């Protein structure tokens, strides 16, 4: 019964998963040089904060490529359950490699065509990060009483 409720909640959010993937693709988080990391991290953090997560932004000072022009900002969000227990952590990276040539669509437009999302990072790893966010939101929406904590992080440079 509990799993059915969860799976039904996830299925009902299919459109939200597609939309969130498109939203994340629209951040041109190309590494190098490291564009748009902070806006992407804050977008994720704002969404999760609205769901009751505590959100921290951690800059990776001193790492290769980190600079004031291209700060390497990661987002870590946590929501504690009603009682003690283990932490389940979902991690995905928000950076992508250069788009390269040969695209039939703008690689940062987040285009949906024939039921598929096209854009840089859909498979590695913005689509996966969107899936983790939607899954955790589905757990909350299904009213599942979980012990411990749920965490999601969006990191730079994997």
Q: How confident is the model at residue 71 (pLDDT cuts 50, 70, 90)?
A: very high
Q: Which two tokens stand for residue 119?
A: 């854009």
Sequence-ordered list of residues with C-beta below 8 angstroms from that of 44, at least 6 positions apart, any chain: 24, 75, 77, 94, 129, 133, 152, 154
Catalytic residue among 8, 56, 98, 158: 158
Catalytic residue among 38, 66, 95, 137: 95
Tell me, yes or no, if 145 is annotated catalytic. no
Tell me, yes or no, if 158 is annotated catalytic. yes
Q: How confident is the model at residue 157 (pLDDT cuts 50, 70, 90)?
A: confident
Q: How confident is the model at residue 2 (pLDDT cuts 50, 70, 90)?
A: confident
Q: How confident is the model at residue 100 (pLDDT cuts 50, 70, 90)?
A: very high
Per-residue pLDDT, 125: 96
DSSP tag of 32 = T
Q: Considering the entire predicted model, what is its pTM?
A: 0.96
**Residue 60 pLDDT exceeds 90:** yes
């Amino acid at each position: 019964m509990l799993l059915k409720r969860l799976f039904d909640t996830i299925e009902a959010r299919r459109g939200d998963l597609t939309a969130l993937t498109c939203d994340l693709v629209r951040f041109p988080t190309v590494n190098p040089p490291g564009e748009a990391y902070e806006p992407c991290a804050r977008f994720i953090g704002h969404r999760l904060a609205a769901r009751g997560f505590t959100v921290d932004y951690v800059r990776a000072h001193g790492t290769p490529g980190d600079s004031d022009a291209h700060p390497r900002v990661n987002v870590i969000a946590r929501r504690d359950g009603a009682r003690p227990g283990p932490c389940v952590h979902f991690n995905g990276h928000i950076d992508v490699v250069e788009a390269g040539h040969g695209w039939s669509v703008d690689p940062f437009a987040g285009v949906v065509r024939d039921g598929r999302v096209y854009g840089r990072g859909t498979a590695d790893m913005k689509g996966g990060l969107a899936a983790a966010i939607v899954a955790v939101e589905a757990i909350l929406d299904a009213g599942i009483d979980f012990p411990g904590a749920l965490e999601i992080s969006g990191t730079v440079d994997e």
